[in-house]
Amino acid sequence: MTTYHGGCLCGAVRFSVEVSKAEIDACHCSMCRRWGGGPSLNVQADGPPRFEDEAALGVYRSSQWGERVFCKTCGSSVLWRSADGSFHAVPAAIIGDPEGMALALEIFIDDKPAYYDFAGERKRMTGPEVMAAFGVDTGS
Ligand SMILES: [Zn+2]
Ligand SMILES: [Zn+2]
């Protein structure tokens, strides 16, 4: 378990977070790409980040199962969390691009546009595969 300290572009949002899984996951879903301007590159946290100032945070409920937390001042993407509070992922960049972490998984690979690809081989999952793994019933 390692404690990382994170902050947004403008510095209004600061937090610390515990991470035991030293891996980076990429999400190619259209929501992440709209939210951050590109695929999200996230580290899974062991529980919620401890924010210094909750008032600096904006929260957007992007789906029935997830919320996106951002800085109200500069708009930096700070956190994706499941609506039930059981899963937290922070962008690798916002905790200082931890050394020694490798890109281990790509999800929503079926949502990835053709104009980019990440080099190298790793596990890749489609959106339906991810939903099944998380036990999410998407309805239709
Ligand atoms: Zn900010
Ligand atoms: Zn995504």
Segments making up each domain of the chain, as ranges:
2-133
Q: Which of 65, 32, 47 is nearest to 133 (CA)?
A: 65
Average pLDDT rounded to a whole number, residues 90-105:
95
pLDDT in tens, 4-59: 999 999 999 999 999 999 999 999 999 999 999 999 999 999 999 999 999 999 99
Which residues fall within 8 angstroms of residue 41, CB to CB, at 6 or more apart?
Answer: 24, 25, 26, 91, 92, 93, 103
Could you give the maximum distance between any two Cα atoms of the chain, in Å?
Answer: 41
* Ligand index nearest the alpha carbon of residue 89: 2
State pTM to two decimals.
0.92
Query: Residue 1 C-alpha to ligand 2 middle, in angstroms?
Result: 25
Cβ(51)–Cβ(57) below 8 Å? yes
Query: Residue 58 C-alpha to ligand 2 middle, in angstroms?
Result: 18
* Structure confidence at residue 139 as a pLDDT band (50, 70, 90): low
* Ligand index nearest the alpha carbon of residue 73: 1
pLDDT in tens, 63-95: 998 999 999 999 999 999 999 999 999 999 999
2-133: CATH class: mainly beta
Tokens of 76: 């930096």
Query: Residue 10 C-alpha to ligand 1 middle, in angstroms?
Result: 4
Query: Residue 77 C-alpha to ligand 1 middle, in angstroms?
Result: 9
Q: How far is CA 52 from the centre of its chain?
A: 19
* Ligand index nearest the alpha carbon of residue 9: 1
